[in-house]
Amino acid sequence: MSRNRVWVTNAANTSGLVSARCLTSWSRSRDSDWSAVRSFSVTHFSFTDSPPRKGVLGLSCRGRTDEVVGHMTEKVIIPPADEIEVTPRKKTSKPVADYLPYGTNGDLVPEMAHAGDGYHFHVTGLTHDERGYPNMTPQTQDHLVKRLQNKVLSAVDRISLVEEDGLEGADVVVISYGITSRVAQRAIDLAREQGLKVGKLRLITVWPFPEKHIRELAAKIKAFVVPELNLGQMVREVERAAAGQARTYSIPHAGGSVHRPEDILKAIVEASR
C-alpha cells in the first residue's frame, strides 16, 4: 500500500497510544486559509492549545508536507513575536534530589526542568517509570498509557477543531479532511444548485475524532458522504459514531490524483433519496 493510503491510520496508532496524540490536517479548503497560512496557524495551535507535553502530528494535504506545502509560493503574514501567544510550560521548583521527570503528583502533566539547571532528565521512547527509566511491567504500562490518553481526552472539546457550513436543515452531510475538502466543496456547490440540502463538516483535527458531534448530526440527517484519498479509513470512525442512525457512503480514491467532483456529487444525490 502507498504511504498516503495508510498515513491516517498509522498516525493515530503510532506507538500503540490510540487516542493519546492529537492529529491535525492541513488543507486548502475554499472557505479556509490556504495551506501555507493554515500550516502556520495550526502549528501555533499545536504549541498553545494542545494538551501540555503531548505530541501533535501535522498531516499535510496528502500526507507529505514537502510535496504540497513545500511547492507552494504565497504570502504568509507572521505576527510580531510579542503578539504571538505562548503557553508557558510547568516548570518545577523542586530540589534536584526530589525531582522526577515524569512524576505527576495527581496532575496529568508532569513539571519540566530546564536544560542546564542541574536536573537529571532521562528521555526514552520506551515505556518508562517516573524517573524516565525503561520499565516494561504491565503496571507501569497501564499507568503511563492511561495518563497519556486521559490528558488528551480531558481536552477533546478544546482541541477537536472542525469547519461547518450548512448543517442546519441538511439531509446529507459531507465529511472530509485534507486536500479532499476542496474537491468536496465543489461537489457540495453543485448539489446545492440542484436544490439538495447538503451540509459540510471539514475535520481540522482528525484525532481525537469528533465522535459526539457526528453522533448528534446522525440523529438529524439521512446520510453522511465521506470522500477520502485512501481506500476508506476515516469512514469507519464515522460509521461507528453514527451508530446506525444515518447511512454512510464511502467514496475512496487510491491516489495519483484527487477525486472528481462529479463522483462525490453522484454519492450526494444517491444519499439524498
Provide φ and ψ at 55, rounded to 5°.
Answer: -65, 140
Domain boundary among 86, 106, 121: 86
100 in any annotated domain? no
- Asked if residues 175 and 237 have their Cβ atoms less than 8 Å apart, the reply is no
In this structure, the answer to whether residues 166 and 80 fall within a common structural domain is: no
217 in any annotated domain? yes
- 53-68 burial: b if 16+ Cβ within 10 Å, else e: ebebbbbbbbbeeeeb
Tell me how far apart the alpha carbons of residues 205 and 42 are, in angstroms, rounded to a whole number. 9
- Asked if residues 13 and 237 have their Cβ atoms less than 8 Å apart, the reply is no
The pLDDT score that the predictor gives to residue 62 is 44
Residue type at 139 in one-letter notation: Q
The C-alpha angle 181, 240, 59, rounded to 5 degrees, equals 35
236 in any annotated domain? yes
Residue holding cell 493510503? 5
| CATH code of the domain covering residue 215 | 3.40.50.920
155 in any annotated domain? no
Query: Residue 213 is placed in which grid cell?
Result: 458531534
Tell me how far apart the alpha carbons of residues 207 and 126 are, in angstroms, rounded to a whole number. 23
Domain boundary among 38, 62, 86: 86
- Asked if residues 167 and 173 have their Cβ atoms less than 8 Å apart, the reply is yes
Tell me how far apart the alpha carbons of residues 171 and 224 are, in angstroms, rounded to a whole number. 9
117 in any annotated domain? no
Comparing CA positions, the residue from 239, 243, 259 lying closest to residue 251 is: 259
Domain that holds residue 244: 162-272
135 in any annotated domain? no
Domain boundary among 41, 71, 86: 86
Provide φ and ψ at 19, rounded to 5°.
Answer: 70, 0
User: Can you tell me whether residue 85 is helix, strand or coil?
Assistant: coil
Residue holding cell 516494561? 136
The total number of structural domains in the chain stands at 2
In this structure, the answer to whether residues 172 and 265 fall within a common structural domain is: yes
Tell me how far apart the alpha carbons of residues 245 and 105 are, in angstroms, rounded to a whole number. 43
The pLDDT score that the predictor gives to residue 258 is 87
116 in any annotated domain? no
Q: What is the pLDDT along the chain (273 residues), one digit of tens a residue?
A: 333 333 344 444 443 333 345 565 544 333 343 467 777 777 777 777 665 666 666 665 444 444 555 666 777 888 898 888 877 788 899 999 999 999 987 788 899 888 888 998 888 889 999 999 999 999 999 999 999 889 888 888 888 889 999 999 999 999 998 878 889 999 999 999 999 999 999 998 888 899 999 999 999 999 999 999 899 999 999 999 999 999 999 999 988 888 999 999 999 999 999
In this structure, the answer to whether residues 78 and 166 fall within a common structural domain is: no
Tell me how far apart the alpha carbons of residues 188 and 200 are, in angstroms, rounded to a whole number. 8
Beta bridge partners of 56: 22
Element (H, E) at 234: helix 234-242
79: DSSP letter: P
In this structure, the answer to whether residues 260 and 173 fall within a common structural domain is: yes
Provide φ and ψ at 112, rounded to 5°.
Answer: -110, 150
Q: Is the peptide bond before 208 cis (omega within 30 degrees of 0)?
A: yes
212 in any annotated domain? yes
